[in-house]
């Protein structure tokens, strides 16, 4: 009589503790490797660490030096240009593709795969391929020149004032298919009867999209913004492969700045300070977004 | 009690594999390309002959950046390699961290002070004691010339800056790209360095880039250097952005371009293409720098070892690296010249012989200066800030005067 009782108390105990037990290693790992190292970086940014970590606090010296550094401001401005263009264009192109694909066209599956395919490539591959295509002596410019338009020039890649735009072009090409897939999933989730009702009321197709469908995609917009903005802020590999931060330092972004100062120039403290600035930017963008999202989810 | 013993034993086995075994040397380096790898194999053979075992610790990529990251991890974890490929003032930076070993005993016994130029031995010492051994000397202020291209354009090999621009004009008229260059920051800095030495001379160079004298850095000579550089910039093609140095060398090899400013590692590209020095290509000092020599020295810095057997092996390594045999064979493979002045030069080619002769003269007349573009002259933070300014100047319409002011500001970063 006692054994089933015992077994049930064991299983009750397991029910209570097993989920926590199973989750605890990953919780401990993320506490240590994510939050622990964020705290360590924050600490380093307040020290005079050079080649190796030095744990004596020295106040905000590194931040002062960072804000006095021309190259940091170039990187920040580039992030603004790249981030803004990348997020806006990827969003617009992705939404447009999704809406067009949603018109019950033939071979939708094949087209969807084609548009989604760039997502399967790593940013390094995208960067290298676009580097060849945009190289004036090798790619697009040479092709058009050879077609018989010798005056055609497209040398943004080697133009210090325009190199950052090529990064945005390659980034949009890579990510808009993914954005399209997210929007398409959202479009498929909309109740058909609303659209039918609007059609009965005599609304034209553009009006239906503009007034009904796009506003009801609001949660998808949030997810897309979340994903795109963190890709933009931490972008490193794409810029490295496409322009290497050049010509000169003209297409530098904060992630490259951080890597070079922390690891190749023996200015670990300054690198840590720039990493903290990047973290703060991400937090400043994402926390309001996530707050708005959860609030609207509660209301909805 | 038992538990304590057990845990001690466990701890010992855990640590044991990490310590260096008796008579073993572990050398961190990034000599992984063809000729360089051959040189390292040579060193391994010599160490084996001395009864020491060689443990290779090669970390390729990123011009040594990856290797430095690996080194930092090892040193922070208290388990440094026997020696690592570190050069220039970085030796001082590591010395300041208190992790480098004193190899004065070997240096005294072998008489390094007599075998090395004082400018070189100074770099190898931390607080007056040897902590590193040099393996080679690269000369950076070379101008590589394709004589056929010059002949076609009816131009002559330039020795001064006015002559240089004359030659460049003639080349341009003949439809040949005057200068092959790659728009990467370190290449921009290499070019700048040769211009600075040619326009300002060795004394200016030392004051500005070794002593980091503010007045000199912001002064009229620096403005003149940047003005010359601006003129040089006009003879570089637009496709140079991001081009690798060896692709630029290839342009000189196949006659697309006439000249290239580059260190003597470029020689390897010419010889690999089957070209003969003096006939198919010329190595001349950059305009106005015939009596000077910008050096770039690779060296092995020695790290403190706890185990006496490892210390013995470390001394063997230092001794071997500075032996005439090793200096000869390593440099024959790498394209540089031996750091040790009394190494016989008869097996070397004409460019290397000329380099050696110029090294000896420059050593006497004070024209022997460290290359700052190759991290030999200043702390890495200062060097980085200066290279940023130079590469910005090369890639924008910044005026020479602003550039000089910014360079002076960069000189304050440390």
| CATH number for B76 | 3.40.190.10
CB < 8 Å to B75, chain A: 52
Tell me, yes or no, whether A117 and A257 share the same domain.
yes
The two three-digit tokens of residue B86, written as one number? 């570190």
Output b/e per residue, B10-20; b: 16+ Cβ within 10 A.
eeeeeeeeeeb
Closest CB from B94, B188, B242 relative to A243: B242
Token pair of B315, please?
A: 């001394």
Burial grade of A102 (CB within 10 A; 0-12, 13-18, 19 or more): middle
Tell me if residue B367 falls in helix, strand or coil. coil
What is the reported pLDDT for A298? 64
Residue A53 lies in a domain: no
| Residues A211 and A277 grouped into a single domain | yes
Nearest to A86, CA basis, from A261, A230, A265: A230
Q: Are B64 and B30 in contact (CB under 8 A)?
A: yes
Residues B44 and B167 in one domain: no
- The reply to whether residue A137 touches residue B239, judged by beta carbons under 8 angstroms, is yes
Q: H-helix or E-strand containing B262?
A: strand B257-262
What is the Cα–Cα distance from B55 to B51, expressed in whole angstroms?
13
Q: Is residue B1 part of a domain?
A: no
Give the number of domains in chain A. 2
Residue B13 included in any domain: no
User: Contact at 8 Å (CB) between B83 and B27?
Assistant: yes
Mean pLDDT, 10 residues at a time, over chain B (414 residues)?
Answer: 48 44 81 79 89 88 76 88 91 90 92 89 92 93 94 92 95 94 91 95 94 94 96 90 87 94 89 88 93 92 91 92 91 87 89 91 90 89 91 90 93 82
What is the bridge-based pairing of β-strands B83-85 and B24-29?
parallel
Same domain as B238, residue B178? yes
Count of structural domains, chain B:
2
Q: What is the pLDDT of residue A14?
A: 83
Strand-pair partners of B142: B262, B285
Residues B167 and B233 in one domain: yes
The neighbouring-strand residues paired with B227 are none
> Is B67 found in the same domain as B161?
no
The string of DSSP codes covering B5-41 is: HHHHHHHHHHHGGGSPPTTEEEEEE---SHHHHHHHH
d(CA B363, CA B337): 14
Nearest-CA distance from A261 to chain B in Å?
A: 8
Identify whether B285 is part of a domain: yes
- Of A157, A125, A175, A140, which is closest to residue A251 (Cα–Cα)? A157
A250·B395 Cβ contact <8 A: yes
SS3 A201: coil
Is the complex ipTM more than 0.85?
A: no
Residue A277 and residue A149 share a domain: yes
> Scanning the structure block, which residue is given the tokens 């040479």?
A142
Residue A51 lies in a domain: no
Statement to judge: residues A259 and A155 lie in one domain: yes
Q: Mutation target for B interface from A155, A158, A164, A245: give the one with most B CBs within 10 A.
A: A158
Q: Which of A71, A249, A263 sits opposite B69 (nearest CB)?
A: A263
Domain range for B133: 22-138+296-354
Answer yes or no: do A287 and A177 share one domain.
yes
Q: What is the pLDDT of residues A155-211, one digit of tens each?
A: 888 888 889 999 999 999 999 999 999 999 999 888 888 888 888 888 888 888 888
Burial of residue A291, with CB atoms counted within 10 A of its CB: 0-12 exposed, 13-18 middle, 19 or more buried: exposed
pTM listed for this prediction: 0.82
- Let me know whether B150 and B189 are in one domain: yes
List chain A residues with CB under 8 Å of B406.
70
- pLDDT, one tens digit per residue, over A34-83 is 999 999 999 999 998 887 888 888 888 899 989 988 889 999 999 999 99
Judging by beta carbons within 10 Å of its beta carbon (0-12, 13-18, 19+), is residue A226 exposed, middle or buried?
middle
Residues recorded for chain A: 300
Mapping DSSP to helix (H, G, I), strand (E, B) and coil, where does residue A278 land? Answer: helix
Cβ partners under 8 Å of residue B411, min gap 6: B208, B212, B214, B217, B382, B385, B386
Range of the domain at A217: 61-299
Instruction: Check if B398 contacts A (Cβ < 8 Å).
Output: no
Pair B106, B181 in one domain: no
CA distance B98 to B92: 10
Domain assignment present for B7: no
Say yes or no: B276 and B342 in one domain.
Answer: no
Which residues of A make CB contacts under 8 Å with B?
50-53, 70-71, 135-137, 155, 157-158, 160, 243-244, 246-250, 260-261, 263-267
DSSP codes of every residue in B71-82:
HHHHHHTT---S
């Amino acid at each position: 009589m006692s054994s089933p009782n015992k077994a049930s108390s064991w299983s009750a105990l397991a029910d209570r503790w097993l989920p926590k037990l199973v989750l605890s290693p990953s919780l401990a790992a993320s506490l240590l490797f994510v939050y622990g190292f964020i705290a360590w970086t924050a600490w380093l940014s307040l020290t005079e660490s050079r080649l190796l970590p030095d744990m004596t606090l020295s106040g905000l010296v590194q931040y002062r030096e960072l804000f006095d550094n021309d190259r940091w401001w170039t990187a920040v401005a580039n992030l603004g240009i790249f981030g803004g263009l990348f997020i806006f264009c990827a969003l617009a192109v992705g939404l447009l593709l999704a809406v067009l694909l949603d018109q019950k066209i033939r071979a939708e599956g094949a087209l969807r795969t084609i548009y989604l395919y760039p997502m399967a490539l790593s940013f390094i591959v995208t960067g290298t391929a676009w580097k060849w295509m945009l190289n004036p002596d090798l790619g697009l410019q040479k092709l058009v020149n050879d077609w018989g338009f010798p005056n055609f020039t497209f040398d943004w890649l080697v133009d210090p004032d325009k190199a950052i735009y090529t990064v945005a072009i390659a980034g949009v090409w890579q990510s808009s298919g993914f954005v399209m897939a997210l929007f398409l999933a959202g479009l498929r989730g909309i109740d058909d009867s609303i659209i039918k009702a609007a059609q009965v009321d005599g609304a034209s197709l553009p009006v239906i999209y503009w007034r009904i469908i796009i506003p009801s995609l609001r949660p998808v917009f949030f997810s897309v913004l979340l994903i795109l903005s963190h890709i933009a802020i931490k972008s490193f590999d794409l810029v490295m492969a496409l322009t290497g931060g050049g010509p000169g330092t003209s297409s530098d972004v904060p992630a490259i700045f951080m890597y070079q100062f922390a690891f190749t120039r023996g200015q670990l403290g300054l690198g840590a300070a720039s990493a903290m600035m990047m973290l703060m930017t991400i937090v400043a963008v994402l926390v309001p977004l996530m707050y708005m999202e959860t609030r609207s989810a509660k209301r909805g | 009690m038992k538990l304590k013993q057990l845990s001690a034993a466990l701890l010992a086995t855990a640590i044991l594999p990490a310590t260096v075994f008796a008579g073993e040397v572990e050398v961190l380096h990034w000599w992984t390309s063809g000729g360089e790898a051959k040189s390292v194999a040579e060193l391994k053979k010599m160490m084996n002959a001395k009864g020491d075992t060689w443990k290779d610790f090669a970390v390729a990529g990123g011009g040594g950046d990856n290797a430095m990251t690996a080194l930092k991890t090892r040193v922070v974890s208290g388990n440094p390699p026997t020696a690592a490929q570190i050069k220039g003032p970085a030796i001082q930076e590591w010395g300041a961290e208190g992790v480098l070993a004193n190899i004065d005993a070997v240096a005294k016994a072998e008489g390094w002070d007599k075998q090395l130029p004082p400018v070189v031995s100074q770099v190898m010492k931390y607080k007056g004691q040897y902590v590193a051994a040099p393996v080679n000397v690269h000369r950076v202020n070379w101008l590589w010339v394709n004589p056929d291209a010059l002949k076609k354009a009816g131009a002559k090999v330039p020795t001064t800056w006015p002559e240089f621009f004359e030659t460049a004009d003639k080349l341009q008229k003949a439809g040949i790209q005057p200068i092959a260059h790659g728009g990467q920051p370190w290449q921009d800095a290499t070019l700048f360095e040769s211009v600075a030495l040619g326009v300002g001379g060795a004394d200016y160079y030392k004051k500005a880039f070794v002593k980091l004298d503010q007045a000199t850095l912001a002064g009229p000579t620096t403005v003149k250097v940047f003005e010359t550089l601006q003129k040089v910039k006009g003879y570089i093609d637009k496709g140079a952005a991001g081009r690798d140095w060896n692709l630029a060398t290839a342009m000189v090899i196949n006659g697309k371009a006439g000249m290239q400013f580059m260190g003597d590692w470029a020689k390897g590209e010419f010889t690999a293409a089957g070209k003969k020095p003096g006939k198919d290509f010329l190595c001349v000092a950059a305009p106005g720098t015939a009596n000077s020599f910008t050096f770039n020295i690779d060296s092995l810095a020695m790290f403190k070892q706890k185990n006496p057997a490892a210390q013995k092996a470390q001394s063997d390594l230092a001794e071997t690296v500075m032996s005439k045999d090793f200096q000869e064979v390593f440099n024959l493979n790498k394209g540089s010249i031996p750091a040790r002045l009394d190494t016989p030069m008869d097996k070397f080619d004409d460019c290397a012989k000329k380099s050696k002769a110029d090294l000896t003269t420059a050593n006497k007349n004070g024209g022997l200066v460290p290359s700052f573009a190759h991290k030999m002259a200043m702390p890495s933070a200062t060097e980085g800030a200066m290279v940023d300014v130079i590469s910005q100047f090369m890639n924008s319409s910044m005026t020479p005067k602003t550039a000089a002011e910014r360079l002076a500001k960069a000189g304050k970063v440390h």
